[in-house]
Amino acid sequence: MSEDYRSMWENLGLDLGAHDALLEVLGKGYGDIYLAQKDRPEGMGYFDFVMSEVHGLRIKEIMDEKEAGKKVIGSFCVFVPEEIVRAVDATLVGLCTGADFATEEVEKLLPRNTCSLIKSAFGFKLGKVCPYLESADMIVGENTCDGKKKSYETLNNLVPNLYVMDIPQMKSAEGRALLRAEYLRFKEAVEQLTGITIDAARLKKGIEIVNNKRKAIYRLSGLRKADPAPISGLDALLANQVFFYDDPVRFTESANKICDEIEKRIDNNQGVFPKSTPRILLSGCPMAVPNWKLPWIIETSGAVIVGEESCVGERGTRNLTDESWDTVEELMEAIVDRYFKVDCAIFTPNPDRLEHIVEMAGTYKADGVIHYGLQFCQPYLMESMAVEKALEEKNIPTLRIDTDYSMEDVGQLKTRVEAFIELIK
C-alpha cells in the first residue's frame, strides 16, 4: 500500500490484525500467480495497481464519495442492475469473495455443505476484513440459489442494511413480470436511500456508463480469439474481476487501452503462449478475487484459457441495455429485457446456457471445455451433466471439476487437468 490506510480501516471497524494477515496472503498469492507470468501486456500494470490498492486507494475514493454525500451499494450477483445504481450517482461494488476466511465461525452459522462463495462472504463479515462490505450503505441480497436465499436470513442478523431482491426461476412471462416488479421496487429503494428521483436523463446516463464498461470488457474477450493468445486467461480474468470494484469510467478507459495494445500484439503475431497451445474455455460458477486456483493450474499445465462462460466473464457482460428509449418507463423495460437474458443455472429449464457454451467454444476456437463447479453448488453441478452432454454431441472434449477454495486438492486437480490437456493435444 502506498499510503497508511490503517485509521480508515479502523474507522470501518475492520480487525486490523486479521486484515493484515489477509493482505499478506493476498499479496503473496498475487506475486506467485500473477507477477510470475511472462510477457504480459504493459496495460496489465493498471490492473496490478488496482489490485495492490484494492483495500487502500479504492476504499479511500469510496470514503471520499461518501463524505460528499454519495451512497455505496454492495451486491453478490450480476442481477443487481448497476444502471439504476448509477442513475442515483451511487457506486455499486461486488461483495463476492474468493477465499476462505473465519471458516470455523462461519460453520457455526451455516451448514458445512454450503458452497465456498457463500461461506466466504460470511467469513469476510465475521472476520471483519472486508472494507467494501463495511462501507456499503445498502447490501443487496438476491433470491437466486437456495443457498444464498436462505443464508440472507442469517446475514440479516449480521448487517443492519440488507435489502433482499426476489429473482424469477423461469424464463416465462410471469418470470419477467416478477423481475420487472422487483427492479421497480429496487428503483424506489435507491431513490429513497439517496433522496434522488430517477428521471430519463439520469437513467440514460447510468445505462450509457454501464454499457460502455461492458463493451470494453467484451472487446477484450473478442481479442482472445487470436492464436497465439495475446493475453493469458489469468490476466483476462483479473480484468473481469476488477470490473466489479473499479470506478466504471476509469475501468472503461483502462480496458480499452489494453485492447489497443493487444490489437497491436495480434498484428505482430505476438502471444503470451506459443501458437497452437491447447485452448480451453472455462465454464461454470463465477470466480471472485482471489480465486485464481483453477486458472493458474490450467495455465501452468500447458494450456491457455481463451474465454470464461461465467458471471465474472461473458455471462455477466455480453448483453447490453438498449439505450435508445426516451422515458423512464421505456428505459426500465430495456433494463429488464437485458437482465432477463442472463442464463444463470438457477433458471429452469436453461437451454440458452447450453447453446451459449457450445457457441463460445466455437467462437474462441477452444480445443476443450473445463466446467468449474463449486462443491455443494447444486445449480451448476446439476447443470454440468447437461453441459457435458451438449458438448459431447458436438465432439468437444469436456472435463468437469468440482472444487472449493482450499488448496488441498491442487495436486489432484493438476493431475486431472494435465491428463485432459494431453488428451486434447
User: Is residue 380 a contact residue for ligand SF4 (CB under 6 A)?
Assistant: yes
Stretch that binds ligand SF4, among 41-49, 139-147, 171-179, 407-415 (CB under 6 A): 139-147
Question: Which of 133, 140, 331, 344 is close enough to bind ligand SF4 by CB under 6 A?
Answer: 344
86 and 151 Cβ atoms separated by less than 8 Å: no
Least CB distance from residue 257 to ligand SF4, whole Å? 27
236 vs 342 by CB, closer to ligand SF4: 342
Radius of gyration of the chain (CA): 21
User: Is residue 79 a contact residue for ligand SF4 (CB under 6 A)?
Assistant: yes
Q: Which residues of 359-371 are buried (b: 16+ CB within 10 A; e: fewer)?
A: ebbebbebbbbbb
Helices 146-155, 116-126: inter-axial angle, 10-degree rounding: 10
In sequence order, the β-bridge partners of residue 140 are: 75, 163
187 vs 353 by CB, closer to ligand SF4: 353
CA-to-CA distance for 157 and 149, rounded, in angstroms? 14
Stretch that binds ligand SF4, among 72-80, 155-163, 174-182, 406-414 (CB under 6 A): 72-80
Stretch that binds ligand SF4, among 74-82, 176-184, 220-228, 240-248 (CB under 6 A): 74-82
Least CB distance from residue 75 to ligand SF4, whole Å? 9
User: Is residue 401 a contact residue for ligand SF4 (CB under 6 A)?
Assistant: no
Q: Torsion-angle region of residue 25: left (phi > 0), alpha (psi -120 to 50) or beta?
A: alpha
User: Is residue 93 a contact residue for ligand SF4 (CB under 6 A)?
Assistant: no
User: What stretches of 89-149 adopt beta strand conformation (E)?
Assistant: 91-94, 138-143
Stretch that binds ligand SF4, among 66-74, 324-332, 338-346, 401-409 (CB under 6 A): 338-346
Question: Which of 77, 90, 136, 366 is close enough to bind ligand SF4 by CB under 6 A?
Answer: 77
User: Is residue 43 a contact residue for ligand SF4 (CB under 6 A)?
Assistant: no
Please count the residues of the chain. 425
CA-to-CA distance for 186 and 332, rounded, in angstroms? 11
Sign of the torsion angle spanned by Cα atoms 60, 65, 67, 70:
negative
User: Is residue 379 a contact residue for ligand SF4 (CB under 6 A)?
Assistant: yes
Question: Which of 43, 98, 141, 286 is close enough to bind ligand SF4 by CB under 6 A?
Answer: 286
User: Is residue 242 a contact residue for ligand SF4 (CB under 6 A)?
Assistant: no
User: Is residue 147 a contact residue for ligand SF4 (CB under 6 A)?
Assistant: yes
350 and 407 Cβ atoms separated by less than 8 Å: no
User: Is residue 141 a contact residue for ligand SF4 (CB under 6 A)?
Assistant: no
User: Is residue 5 a contact residue for ligand SF4 (CB under 6 A)?
Assistant: no
Question: Cell triple for residue 384?
Answer: 454440468
Least CB distance from residue 346 to ligand SF4, whole Å? 6
Stretch that binds ligand SF4, among 14-22, 113-121, 230-238, 392-400 (CB under 6 A): 113-121
Task: Compute how many residues bind ligand SF4; rule: CB under 6 A.
Answer: 20
Stretch that binds ligand SF4, among 112-120, 129-137, 169-177, 324-332 (CB under 6 A): 112-120
CA-to-CA distance for 240 and 259, rounded, in angstroms? 13
> Long-range pairs for 319-322 at CB < 8 Å and ≥24 separation?
319/214, 320/211, 320/214, 320/215, 321/83, 321/207, 321/210, 321/211
CA-to-CA distance for 325 and 333, rounded, in angstroms? 9
Binding site for ligand SF4 (CB under 6 A): 77-79, 115, 117-118, 144-145, 147-148, 285-286, 311, 342, 344, 346, 374, 377, 379-380
